[in-house]
Amino acid sequence: MGVLSSFDREAVSTLRSAGVLEEVDAHAIDMTNGVIVVRCPDCDQRSDAERHDQVLATANGGRDRFHLLPHHGGAAVAAPGSPLYPEFDLPGYLGLQIREAEGLKSIKTVLLEVHAPCGKGEASGFNIVQLITLMFLGKPNIRAIDPTNEIVCRVHIDYGDRKRTYFVSRAKWMAFWNQRGRELWGHLFEVDPYPPTSLRVATVRRSGDRASVEEEDLHGPTPIPMDEASEGAMAVLAASRRGPSDTQLALEASRGPRTD
C-alpha cells in the first residue's frame, strides 16, 4: 500500500486551503440514470471510493448504477499523448468505452477521478498536481464525445489515517493556476499547461485635437476564458512542436526525482 508523499500532502493542503478541492457532497450530481466512472482500480482504495459513490447516490436520490471503467492512473490516462501508457492510445480507447457505455446504458454523467497515493502515477513519475493536470487536459476529449454529458472531476486522497474524496472544478483549478499554481508548480512542467494569454488593452487619450493611443499588456490573475478544447490542444501542440519524443506532453520531460 502506498504512502502519501510529503509533496502530495502539501499540495493537497494548499489546494484545500484555496478552496480548489471541495467537499464533494455539497455538489449535486445528476445520478438519476447512473454514472460512468473512470478511476484507478487500486484495491486498497476501492471500498472507500465505492462507499463514497453510494453516499452520493443516496444523497442525490440516484440509482445504484455505477458503470465502472477502471484504468491504472484513473482519469489521467485520458490526457492527449497518453503519457501514462505512451505505447497505447489510451485516450482513444477510453473515449470508445465511454461512448459505448453511454449508448448501451443511456448514462449521461461521467465521473473522472485521480487519486493519491497512486502506484501507477508514482511509477510513471507523476505527482498529484500532474495527475490532476492530466485529467483536465483529457477532459475536452471526453466532453467532445457528447457535449450534453455532465462531467464531474474528483480527487481521492488516502492520508493514511483517513480517506477523503474531493470535487475539483476546472474553473477553480485554472484560476488557482494563474494566481499561484504556476509559481508554485510551474517547474513540474516543461511547457506551461495553461499558458497565459496576452490581452492588450488600448486606451485612447485626447488632448485638444490630438489623440494618442496607449497600449497595456495585461496578464492579470483572472484566466482568459477559452474553451476547453483549445486549451488542451495548446499544451499538447506546444509540446509536440519539439519533436516526436516530446509528444507525450510536457509532463514526459518532467519525470525525474520527485521534489519530496
The contact pattern for Zn ion, residues 42-71, with x = CB under 5 A and - = no contact, is: x-----------------------------
The region of 35-43, 163-171, 186-194, 195-203 touching Zn ion under the rule CB under 5 A is 35-43
For residue 43, the minimal CB distance to Zn ion (Å) is 10
Find, among 112, 109, 122, the residue nearest to 3 by Cα. 122
The region of 38-46, 130-138, 231-239, 250-258 touching Zn ion under the rule CB under 5 A is 38-46
Alpha-carbon span 108 to 239, nearest angstrom: 32
Which lies closer to Zn ion via its Cβ, residue 1 or residue 226? 1
| By CB under 5 A, residue 114 contacts Zn ion | no
| By CB under 5 A, residue 40 contacts Zn ion | yes
Amino acid at 202: A
Which lies closer to Zn ion via its Cβ, residue 67 or residue 120? 120
Site residues (CB under 5 A) for Zn ion, limited to 163-222 = none
The region of 37-45, 102-110, 197-205, 215-223 touching Zn ion under the rule CB under 5 A is 37-45
Q: Which are the contacts of 207, defined by CB distance < 8 A and separation ≥ 6?
A: none
For residue 193, the minimal CB distance to Zn ion (Å) is 21
Which lies closer to Zn ion via its Cβ, residue 41 or residue 196? 41
Which lies closer to Zn ion via its Cβ, residue 120 or residue 139? 120
| By CB under 5 A, residue 113 contacts Zn ion | no
Confirm if 113 and 75 have CB atoms less than 8 A apart.
yes
Q: How many CB atoms lie within 10 A of CB 226?
A: 12
| By CB under 5 A, residue 118 contacts Zn ion | yes
For residue 120, the minimal CB distance to Zn ion (Å) is 5
For residue 72, the minimal CB distance to Zn ion (Å) is 6
| By CB under 5 A, residue 112 contacts Zn ion | no
Which lies closer to Zn ion via its Cβ, residue 53 or residue 228? 53
Chain position carrying cell 448504477: 65
Which lies closer to Zn ion via its Cβ, residue 107 or residue 137? 137
Which lies closer to Zn ion via its Cβ, residue 8 or residue 42? 42
Contacts with Zn ion by CB under 5 A lie at 40, 42, 118, 120
